Amino acid sequence: MNKIKIVLLSLLSIGIICSSCEKSVNEPQSPEPEIPQPKPMPEATYELRGTIKAMDFVAIADGMRNDYISFYDEQNFYTLFIDFYTDESNAYLPSGNYALSPTKLDSAYNEYSYFTLTPSSDFERFTDGWVEVIADENDPSGYLVHKIRAYFTLVSGESVSMEYSGTILSAN
């Protein structure tokens, strides 16, 4: 009987048996999700950086999930509005590459995606652009965390870029 106790204690100490844990301590952790081949981030005229607040308004429209997300740069006062459409069955904006497009599904829809220099300035439209999204359900915080990289060319020929990592607050 003592030999069994010693073996069990030994197994517990090296992490093979752990009745109070979901995972064994020796089990490899799942890797952090990432975009397989991220695009190089070109230099931009305007960059959202520092403290960025993100707010999402979600609706179901035409059988698609519509995430209308605003990113507000508290340091520079820039705001970037990106209108995403994905499959209606998605519970949140999923990981993927989204091109600025006149079509809605799996894109950054150009009709309602804009940039503003200040909260009171006019909307500046885009001619081209892309967004890379990583949705991480397994963040150590326990919250869904989005890592988002975006680059857009404005009608004026200037450009805007953003790198964001954090939770996106719901406006609904």
- Domain of residue 162, residue span: 44-170
Give a yes or no: residue 36 inside a domain: no
Per-residue pLDDT 10s for the chain (172 aa) are 333 333 322 322 333 333 333 333 333 344 455 666 677 888 999 999 889 999 999 999 889 999 999 999 999 999 999 999 999 999 999 999 999 999 999 999 999 999 999 989 999 999 999 999 999 999 999 999 999 999 999 999 999 999 999 999 998 8
| Model pLDDT, residue 36 | 62
| Model pLDDT, residue 34 | 63
Give a yes or no: residue 50 inside a domain: yes
Give a yes or no: residue 114 inside a domain: yes
Give a yes or no: residue 99 inside a domain: yes
| Model pLDDT, residue 156 | 96
Q: How far apart are CA 8 and CA 117, in angstroms?
A: 64
Give a yes or no: residue 143 inside a domain: yes
Neighbours of 162 (CB within 10 A): 24
Supply 4's token pair.
Answer: 């069994």
Q: Which pLDDT tens digit goes with each residue over 20-48?
A: 333 333 333 444 556 666 778 889 999 99
The tally of domains found in the chain comes to: 1
| Model pLDDT, residue 148 | 96
Instruction: State whether the Cα torsion 81-84-89-91 is positive or negative.
Output: negative
Give a yes or no: residue 38 inside a domain: no
